[in-house]
Amino acid sequence: MQAYRSALVTGASSGIGEAFARELAARGAHLVIVARRTDRLERLAAELRERYRVDVEVHTVDLTEPDQRSTVEERLADPARPIELLVNNAGFGTSGSFAELPLSREEREINLNVLSLVRLTHAALPSMIERRHGGVLNVSSMAGFLAAPFSATYCATKSYVTAFSESLHGEVAPQGVHVTALCPGFVRTEFETRAESVPGFAWVPIESVVREGLAAVSSGRTMCVPGAQYKAAAPVIRIAPRRLLRTVVSRVWL
Ligand SMILES: NC(=O)c1ccc[n+]([C@@H]2O[C@H](COP(=O)([O-])OP(=O)(O)OC[C@H]3O[C@@H](n4cnc5c(N)ncnc54)[C@H](OP(=O)(O)O)[C@@H]3O)[C@@H](O)[C@H]2O)c1
């Protein structure tokens, strides 16, 4: 089991990222929190400093903008201020007919969910490997196991995150660094979902997502599917016929 004294969390201004920041601060980790909404980040930082006596750096950054993102890459690579855990959480999903969705938004989704996650991971790993200690927790999704019509780009980005994380884990685990894909199902956040079409049993409490994710990365597990209902479903999803899955997913998702 690894313990982390410092962590950088992307997308910490709401939802799962904010919950990670809260839990890590409660465990005594010094934080770097990243998102676009400064007011939200500053409020959270002030609360966590006051409540847990930890350092919290606020970085107002649009991770899809290369110039802004590079400041986060530099912070991650700074050997004088090591980051022991990177939580690549910032992400969003689009839904609708791919042919009709604005291409620029699809590109931004790939930029944030995939490119930014890859670049931040690349910036963080060398010093973790050198210290033979550290973790990268990549927030993927159950959507990464699926093909969901009208969420093509989202599913594909999350498939990438899961495969990337699993592959990387095999590379760096022998050097003492853990990379884990966290694959939640539905979680109540600001993430755009047609919530009314999601059955009650399908929601996972945000606290479980965070605690299970942190337990998985610190113990060196490659993948984490939080919630008993999704743990039971994951092996079935892996062997179910893809056509059947697409039909079921379309009913629940859209
Ligand atoms: N909620 C679910 O049901 C669910 C299920 C599975 C996986 N996930 C994944 O969980 C992660 C977090 O989602 P969430 O549900 O917590 O949604 P959320 O409440 O909408 O949070 C998304 C976070 O990402 C940040 N963000 C968005 N665009 C950004 C950008 N260009 N640059 C920097 N930060 C950006 C947002 O902050 P700003 O707007 O302040 O930038 C916000 O802090 C995502 O990767 C999502 O795919 C969610």
What's the pLDDT at 250?
A: 75
What CATH number should be reported for the domain holding residue 96? Answer: 3.40.50.720
Catalytic residue among 4, 52, 154, 160: 154
Q: Total domain count for the chain?
A: 1
To test the pocket of ligand 1, the residue of 10, 16, 197 to mutate (highest count of ligand atoms within 8 Å of its CB) is 16
The confidence score (pLDDT) of residue 254 equals: 58
pLDDT recorded at residue 11: 98
- CA-nearest residue for atom 1, ligand 1, is 187
**In this predicted structure, what is the pLDDT of residue 191?**
86
213 CA from centroid of ligand 1 (Å): 16
For the Cβ of 15 lying below 6 angstroms from any atom of ligand 1, the answer is yes
- What range defines the domain where residue 160 resides? 6-253
Cα(95) to ligand 1 centroid in Å equals: 15
Short-list 20, 137, 19, 8, CA closest to 69: 8
Q: How many residues does the chain have?
A: 254
Is 1 within a domain?
no
Spans in the chain with pLDDT lower than 50: none
Cα 10 to averaged position of ligand 1 atoms, centre (Å):
9
